[in-house]
Structure 1
Amino acid sequence: MKTIFQSLILLFSISFISSCVVMSTKKYNALLVQKDSISLGWEASRNKVNALEGEIVSLRSDTALLNSKITELEEKLKTLDENYSALKLNTSSEIQKLADDLQKREERLTEVEDILRKRDEATNALKDKLQKALLGFQQNGLSVDIRNGKVYVSLTDKLLFSSGSIIIDEKGELALKELAKVLKTQPEINISVEGHTDNQRVVNLGQITDNWDLSVLRATSVVRFLTEIEKIENDRITATGKGEYQPIETGSSPEIRSRNRRIEIVLSPKLDELYNLIK
């Protein structure tokens, strides 16, 4: 731009010198106006160039800043992509693990339900066998029922013992023999013999001091008969005394007291398989 301006000035000067002798005042003034116009144009152009150069510098700075931000954002995006991929992988792994755990739990639940179903079937079958085997004694104070998945054979004391006695009488032995026949065919059944009394105080029974003693000794008599005479395995059977504290009915009438004085033989299936499943 400066070179162009200098060329114009030189041209103007030559023209001026070559024609100064014959140039009129009017033409001279026109040349001056032209010179001023060229000077103003050159100044405006120079200012515009300076402004453009400043703008170029600013744009270059902005471009560098934007490139830096783009690079930073690209790095963040790369990190986010890596994190997302890792999270997606971990989430898929966790979901699969949860699905596997759920499937295992459902399988265990199915096994437990199957075992419980078999237990209930076995319990009902055992009840039917006992009812048939002990049918002749049911009018003499014997009953068979199911409670909480267990079979309860309840024998009133008059079916087994004389009043105040812990020795099983002949009628009671017959009932226990029939019971033992069924139990010998059910080796997977655990046996618990529970002695129960009424709430009347024990009197004139020698070394038997209270209902606790009476209930325990009567349960023990039944256990000894089943193990020593009928040869039921000792490790299948236990004896406990409940005294007067688990009555069938509350009250003090002779009928209620008679029902509360009883031996209950509780039969429950061995649940080792079930216990192993739920450990």
Structure 2
Amino acid sequence: MKKLLLAACCLPFLTSCVSRRLYNELDAKYKNCSEELERISGESADLKAQAFDLGTKNQSLKEQLENATTERDQLKIAYDQLKKEYNSLEKNSDQAIKAEIERLNLLKKELDGKSSRVAELEGKLAAQDRNLRNLKDALSKALFEFEGKGLTVEQKNGKVYVSMENKLLFPSGSWSVSSEGKNAVEQLAEVLAKNPEISILIEGHTDNDKVVGNLGGGVTNNWDLSTKRATAIVNIIEQTPGIDKKNLTAAGRSEFAPIALNSTDSGKAKNRRIEVILTPKLDEISKLLNDL
């Protein structure tokens, strides 16, 4: 009985002791849970903020992706168009290049032909120039004894000029050739006979003195006199064997092609002359020039 009473007396104390300890434990757990809840709530708020930021960024990225996709599609369309144009251009360029190559080949062929003709022309001109120099030298040698008597030989403008003053050829006012003049013309003709490809123009020239009266044979002016003198020289040259008469031409120039002033006696003497102008035949050269 005593034991039961003792147990009954101690039970409230034991119960009180256990409840305090449990309370403390529960209180501690509550505090821990409250702190954990607060921490988790904070993390949740952070995560929500991050989620919001990520959502914003995700939307921005979506927009950027859409823009990039649109640009890509546009670039692809542009690329396909450019590729199409390039292929077309390449095809046309190949055709254009082939056409240009053909044109250049034709031009080269034409140029080669012209170059060949130019070379041939240059060769003929050079040969012609050599022939003229040889002719000039041959005439100078053949007519050397007359060169101090009013006779000159020179080469110029692609021709050879033999000039003979009237004092060597004719008496004053006459168109009859003197013996010395005939000798000079015959020696000239012998050289010309060896050059059948030369055209021979004989020009008669006078000073500006008027013909007084009638010199005989109907000569009333310097035109008549210069022509008769040129013809007299032709008559001598054509008698030389080997002379092709088709190469001969006689012309009267009267007083209108002077080489000196007619105001002095010496000038008039120079103007009274026969000029034999020797010109290479230019048929082949003219043909080559026309073919260029």
TM, length-normalised to structure 2? 0.70
Structure 1 residues 58 and 211, CA gap change in structure 2 (3 angstroms):
same
- In structure 1, the partner of 2:240 is 230
> 1:160-217: CA deviations, max 9, x gaps?
1111112222222111111111111111111000111111111122421211111111
- In structure 2, the partner of 1:276 is 287
- In structure 1, the partner of 2:254 is 243
TM superposition shift of 1:105: 3.2
Q: Return 5+ residue gaps in structure 1 as ranges.
A: 1-50
| Matches of 1:251 and 1:78, distance apart in 2 | 84
> 1:104-163: CA deviations, max 9, x gaps?
333332222221111111111111111111122222221111121211111111211111
What is the Cα-based RMSD across aligned positions, in Å? 3.7
| Matches of 2:209 and 2:82, distance apart in 1 | 92
- In structure 1, the partner of 2:193 is 184
- In structure 2, the partner of 1:175 is 184
Q: Secondary structure at the match of 1:119?
A: helix
Q: Secondary structure at the match of 2:148?
A: helix
- How do 1:2-13 residues align onto structure 2 when only pairs under 5 Å count? none
Which 4+ stretches in 1 moved above 6 angstroms? Answer: 55-66
| Matches of 2:120 and 2:137, distance apart in 1 | 26
| Matches of 1:81 and 1:139, distance apart in 2 | 80
| Matches of 1:135 and 1:62, distance apart in 2 | 100
| Matches of 1:250 and 1:187, distance apart in 2 | 36
- In structure 1, the partner of 2:138 is 129
| Matches of 2:224 and 2:200, distance apart in 1 | 21
User: AA paired with 2:270?
Assistant: R
TM superposition shift of 1:75: 2.3
| Matches of 2:73 and 2:121, distance apart in 1 | 71
| Matches of 1:159 and 1:137, distance apart in 2 | 8
| Matches of 1:133 and 1:62, distance apart in 2 | 99
Aligned residues: 251
- In structure 1, the partner of 2:126 is 117
TM superposition shift of 1:71: 4.0
TM superposition shift of 1:272: 2.1
User: AA paired with 1:109?
Assistant: V
TM superposition shift of 1:251: 3.4
- How do 1:257-268 residues align onto structure 2 when only pairs under 5 Å count? 257-268=268-279
Assess if the C-alpha contact under 8 Å between 2:261 and 2:267 holds in 1.
Answer: yes
Q: Return 5+ residue gaps in structure 2 as ranges.
A: 1-58
TM superposition shift of 1:237: 0.8
Q: Does 1:100 align with 2:109?
A: yes
From the CA coordinates, give the structure whose radius of gyration is larger. 2
| Matches of 1:268 and 1:74, distance apart in 2 | 70
TM superposition shift of 1:69: 4.7
| Matches of 1:63 and 1:128, distance apart in 2 | 90
Assess if the C-alpha contact under 8 Å between 2:186 and 2:236 holds in 1.
Answer: no
- In structure 2, the partner of 1:12 is none
Q: Does 1:201 align with 2:214?
A: no
Q: Does 1:143 align with 2:152?
A: yes
User: AA paired with 1:240?
Assistant: A
User: AA paired with 1:237?
Assistant: L
Structure 1 residues 194 and 68, CA gap change in structure 2 (3 angstroms):
same
User: AA paired with 2:162?
Assistant: V
TM superposition shift of 1:65: 6.5
Question: What is the percent sequence identity of the aligned residues?
Answer: 38
TM superposition shift of 1:62: 8.0
TM superposition shift of 1:63: 7.7
- In structure 1, the partner of 2:14 is none
| Matches of 1:109 and 1:221, distance apart in 2 | 42
